[in-house]
Amino acid sequence: MTDPAPRSSPRPAAEPVAVHVLLFSVLRENIGQPALQVDVPHPASVAALLEILEARYPPVASYRSVLRVAVNQAYAEEEAPLTAGDEVALITPVSGG
């Protein structure tokens, strides 16, 4: 008689990545808050964060095509990874005269 094959235990789900989101200009005005705490599922990226924010806050969807994103004070592309505690700034174009 042979021993049964060992059962593999399911991998525990990775903890979501908590990031601090700073809002500027029109997003701050439309959302009514200067900053948000957001949990992004692992593996977290700027794109995943933006998708969450678009679903929760329609103004983000309205400005996504012109948003600039900075992670820890450096401009970042949507593919950029996020780690716990990162500071993400959503910057909309500013016009004036």
User: How far is the C-alpha of 16 from the C-alpha of 19, rounded, in Å?
Assistant: 10
Q: Residue 14: name the closest of 79, 77, 84 by CA.
A: 84
pLDDT of amino acid 77: 97
In a domain, 68, yes or no: yes
Domain assignment present for residue 47? The answer is yes
Q: How many domains does the chain have?
A: 1
Q: Can you give the pTM of this predicted structure?
A: 0.83
pLDDT digits (tens, 9 = 90+) for 13-49: 689 999 999 999 999 999 999 999 999 999 999 999 9
CB neighbour list of residue 89: distance below 8 Å, 6 or more residues apart: 21, 22, 24, 69, 70, 71, 73
Q: Find the domain containing 63 and state its range.
A: 17-91
pLDDT in tens, 56-92: 999 999 999 999 999 999 999 999 999 999 999 999 9
3-state secondary structure of 75: strand
In a domain, 23, yes or no: yes
CATH number at residue 44: 3.10.20.30
pLDDT of residue 44: 97
pLDDT at 94: 77
